[in-house]
Amino acid sequence: MESEKEFLSNYNIKDYERPSLTTDVAAFMISTEDKTSDRKDPDNKLRLLLIKRGGHPYKGCWALPGGFLQSNETVEECALREIQEETNVMPTALLPVGTFSKPGRDPRGWIISNAYVSIITEESVKQVAMDDADDAQWFIVSFEQSDDGLYHLTLEYDDVSLKAVLSEEKTSYRRTEFRIIESGGLAFDHASIIAMALTVLRHEAKKFDAIFDFLPEKFTLTALQRVQETIMNVTVLPGNFRRMIGSYVEETDEYVKGERHRPAKLYTRKK
Amino acid sequence: MESEKEFLSNYNIKDYERPSLTTDVAAFMISTEDKTSDRKDPDNKLRLLLIKRGGHPYKGCWALPGGFLQSNETVEECALREIQEETNVMPTALLPVGTFSKPGRDPRGWIISNAYVSIITEESVKQVAMDDADDAQWFIVSFEQSDDGLYHLTLEYDDVSLKAVLSEEKTSYRRTEFRIIESGGLAFDHASIIAMALTVLRHEAKKFDAIFDFLPEKFTLTALQRVQETIMNVTVLPGNFRRMIGSYVEETDEYVKGERHRPAKLYTRKK
DNA sequence: CAAATAGTGTCTCTAAGACAATATCAC
DNA sequence: GTGATATTGTCTTAGAGACACTATTTG
Chain B contact probe: residue of A99, A116, A206 with most B CBs at under 10 A: A99
- Model confidence at A64, in pLDDT bands (50, 70, 90)? very high
* pLDDT value of residue B175: 85
**Same domain membership, residue A24 and residue A102:** yes
Q: To the nearest whole angstrom, how far is the Cα of A39 from the nearest Cα of chain B?
A: 37
A185 and A226 in a single domain? The answer is no
Whether residues B130 and B42 fall in one domain: yes
Determine whether the interchain pair A13/B110 forms a contact, defined as Cβ–Cβ distance below 8 Å.
yes
B173/A76 CB distance under 8 A: yes
| Helical packing angle, B221-232 and B190-206, nearest 10° | 140
Distance between CA atoms of residues A165 and A182, nearest Å? 5
Could you say which nucleotides of strand D lie within 7 A of any protein CB atom? 3-10, 15-20, 23-27
Residue B131 has a pLDDT of 67
Residues B196 and B223 reside in one and the same domain? no
Q: Which of residues 235-254 of A touch strand C (CB under 7 A)?
A: 236-240, 243-244
CATH number at residue A215: 1.10.10.10
> Looking at beta carbons, which residues of chain A come within 8 Å of B98?
96
Portion 98-117 of A in contact with B at CB < 8 A: 98-99, 101-103, 107-112, 114
Which pLDDT tens digit goes with each residue over A198-250?
Answer: 999 999 999 999 999 999 999 999 999 999 999 999 999 999 999 999 999 99
Do A216 and A201 belong together in one domain?
no
- pLDDT tens digits in sequence order for chain B, 271 residues long: 667 677 666 666 666 789 999 999 999 999 998 666 666 777 899 999 999 999 889 999 999 999 999 999 999 999 999 999 999 999 999 999 999 999 999 999 999 999 999 999 999 998 887 766 579 999 999 999 999 999 999 999 999 999 999 999 998 887 889 999 999 999 999 999 999 999 999 999 999 999 999 999 999 999 999 999 999 999 999 999 999 999 999 999 999 988 889 999 999 999 8
User: Would you say the C-alpha torsion B105, B109, B113, B118 has a positive or negative sign?
Assistant: negative
What's A200's DSSP letter? H
Q: Is the pLDDT of residue A34 over 90?
A: no
Positions 203-242 in A, CB within 7 angstroms of strand D = 220-222, 238-240, 242
Assess whether A260 and A152 both reside in one domain. no
Confidence of residue A14 (pLDDT cuts 50, 70, 90): low
Q: Concatenated DSSP letters for A51-78?
A: EE--SSSSTT-EE--EEEPPTTS-HHHH
Residue A17: its pLDDT value, please? 85
Say if A12 falls within a structural domain.
Answer: no
Identify whether residues B132 and B228 lie together within a single domain.
no
Question: Which residue in the set A55, A71, A94 is minimally distant from B110, CB to CB?
Answer: A71
Find the Å distance, CA of residue B140 to C1' of nucleotide D10.
52
Shared-domain flag, residues B202 and B246: no
Residue A65: what are its φ and ψ, rounded to 5°?
A: -65, 150
Q: Which domain holds residue A151?
A: 19-206
In a domain, A10, yes or no: no
How many Å apart are CA B111 and CA B194, to the nearest integer?
18
The span from the CA of B186 to the CA of B100, in Å, is 16
d(C-alpha B156, C-alpha A58), whole Å: 53
The nucleotide lying nearest B226 (C-alpha to C1') is: C5
Q: Are residues B239 and B193 in the same domain?
A: no
Strands (DSSP E) contained in B78-228 are 93-100, 111-119, 136-145, 151-157, 160-170, 176-182, 219-220
Q: Which of A187, A211, A229 is nearest to A267 (CA)?
A: A211
Q: Nearest C-alpha of chain A: how many angstroms from B147?
A: 20
Looking at residue B73, what DSSP letter applies?
S
Among residues of chain A, what percentage have pLDDT more than 70? 92
Gap between the Cα atoms of B154 and B171, Å rounded: 25
C-alpha to C-alpha distance for B112 and B103, rounded to whole angstroms: 9
A138 part of a folded domain? yes
Q: Which residue of B has its CA nearest to A94?
A: B173
Q: Residue A173: name the closest of B79, B218, B230, B24 by CA.
A: B79
Mean pLDDT of A165-169: 96
Question: Given 3-state DSSP classes, what are the helix, strand and coil percentages for chain A, each rounded to the nearest 5?
Answer: 25, 35, 40
CA of B46 to C1' of C17 (A): 40
Residues with Cβ within 8 Å of residue B126, at least 6 apart in sequence: none
> B131-142 as b/e, with b when 16 or more CB fall inside 10 Å?
eeeeeebbbebe
- Residue B4 included in any domain: no
pTM over 0.85: yes
Rounded CA separation A186/A34 (Å): 28
The minimal CB distance from A21 to the residues B8, B112, B175 is found for: B112
Q: Name the domain boundary from B164, B189, B206.
A: B206
Clarify whether residues A182 and A237 are in a common domain.
no
Mean of all residue pLDDT scores within chain A: 91
CA-to-CA distance for B112 and B17, rounded, in angstroms?
14
Cα–Cα distance measured from residue A33 to residue A158, given in angstroms and rounded to the nearest whole number: 13
CA angle (B154 as vertex; B190, B110 as ends), nearest 5: 5
pLDDT tens digits, residue range A67-110? 999 999 999 999 999 999 999 999 999 999 999 999 999 999 99
Pinpoint the alpha helices (H) of chain A. 4-10, 75-87, 122-127, 190-206, 221-232, 238-245
- Please indicate, yes or no, whether residues A165 and A244 belong to a single structural domain of this protein: no
Torsion B235-B237-B243-B246 (CA) sign: positive
In a domain, B130, yes or no: yes
Q: Are B23 and B71 in contact (CB under 8 A)?
A: no
Q: Which residue of A has its CA nearest to B67?
A: A16
Same domain? B25 vs B102: yes
- Is A173 inside a domain boundary? yes
pLDDT for B8: 64
Q: Please give the radius of gyration of chain A, using alpha carbons only, rounded to the nearest integer.
A: 21
Pick out the nucleotide with least CA–C1' distance to A39: D4
A261 touches strand C (CB under 7 A): yes
CA-based nearest residue to B68, from B120, B107, B19: B19
Q: Is the CB of A257 under 7 A from strand D?
A: no
Are B96 and A98 inside 8 Å of each other by CB? yes
Positions 106-125 in A, CB within 7 angstroms of strand D: none
- Domain end point (choices A206, A228, A245): A206
CATH code, domain carrying A92 = 3.90.79.10
The predicted pLDDT at position A186 comes to 97
Alpha-carbon distance B157 to nearest alpha carbon in chain A (angstroms): 26
Whether residue A79 lies inside any domain: the answer is: yes
Q: How far apart are alpha carbons B227 and A35 in whole angstroms? A: 55
Q: How many CB atoms lie within 10 A of CB A101?
A: 23
CA-CA distance, A66 to A114, in Å (whole number)? 10
What is the number of domains present in chain A? Answer: 2
Q: Which of A180, A206, A232 is the last residue of a domain?
A: A206
The mean pLDDT of A176-197, rounded to a whole number, is 96
Interface of A with B in 68-97 (CB under 8 A): 68-69, 71-76, 91-96
